[in-house]
Structure 1
């Protein structure tokens, strides 16, 4: 039984979470940008990861999931999201972004997230800074290891 962590990222935070999950699950880890060379038949379990921007998953991950739904529907599928702001419940995010996966995803989790202004481009940084947010109240990746451990525990029950 082989596991793949397939993630999309813009500034690297989701990649960090994907790496933590992959290391703890003894899984392969692939950026969605490198997916063309991937043989999905090798995997029985796929964990998708995406940042959220205004409640939306990364377009490249959505496109991949929609294009491959028939090939993926017989696998154990899971999703984690990373975000910088409070967002709707994860079920609402799935319904709005990938409704065809509502009954296919076995485990979903919102890991919270952080803003790394040093990695952001000027436009994204300005948008975040002008939005009326209390940045101190955001969830952060400070407890990431504990959150990942709980997520992996949920996955273990699904196998």
Structure 2
């Protein structure tokens, strides 16, 4: 099954999750929607979208991609994953960022965790994460089991 994983990342953890997810598939293309051209969707049977959550919102390039390609995505084996440090609110994040039809069409939807690396963040980002998530040191919350389960759901 030819698979396209379209992701957007700011500090790298969504890219890390996308790469781990890509290991579940034999014929896969990874594309950072914020910096790379997205190939023609007609060439793919399966499309997976992933983004970090910042203040409840996905990256604008993923949101635009989903909106502009909603009809085509609705005809594909579709997956949506979110990355971040707080899993609570997953349903609200999906509702705020994607159409209900797209979310319902998705074969797999999951919150796969994230990484807080203070060495990659500016002062404001560190302050917000400390206040919201209570983190001040390097923290890896990427969920390997959920990534594997997501890959299996997409292939089933």
TM-score tier (shorter): 0.7 to 0.9
Separation of aligned partners in 2, 1:86 and 1:77: 21
CA positional deviation for 1:122: 2.5
Whole-Å Cα distance in 2 between the matches of residues 60 and 155 of structure 1? 23
Alpha-carbon distance in 2 for matches of 1:152, 1:18: 11
Which residue of structure 2 aligns with residue 122 of structure 1?
A: 123
1:65–1:128 Cα change, 3 Å: same
SS in 2 for 1:103: helix
Alignment partner of 1:79 is 2:80 = yes
Aligned partners of 2:77 and 2:154 also within 8 Å: no
1:3–1:120 Cα change, 3 Å: same
Unaligned runs of 5+ in 2: none
Q: CA RMSD in A?
A: 2.1
Residue 24 of structure 1 aligns to a residue in which SS?
Answer: coil
Q: CA deviation at 1:59?
A: 1.3
- The alignment's TM-score, normalised by the length of structure 1, stands at 0.85
Aligned to 1:149: 148
Displacement of 1:127:
1.8
Question: Does the aligned pair in 2 maintain the 1:44–1:75 contact within 8 Å?
Answer: yes
Q: Which residue of 2 aligns with 1:111?
A: 112
Deviation, 1:120, is 1.3
| Unmatched segments (≥5 aa) in structure 1 | none
1:65 matched to which residue of 2? 66
Aligned to 2:43: 42
How far did 1:37 drift? 5.0
Q: More helix per residue: 1 or 2?
A: 1
CA contact (8 A) 1:54 1:87 kept: no
Partner residue in 1 for 2:32: 31
Gap change, CA 1:120 and 1:107, over 3 Å in 2: same
Instruction: Give the total of aligned pairs.
Output: 152
Question: 118-127 or 46-55, which moves further after superposition?
Answer: 118-127
In the superposition, relative to structure 1, how do residues 7 and 117 fare at CA in structure 2: closer, same or farther (>3 Å)?
A: same
Give every structure 1 segment of 4 or more consecutive aligned residues whose post-TM-superposition deviation is greater than 6 Å: none
Contact 1:55 1:87 survives alignment (8 Å): no
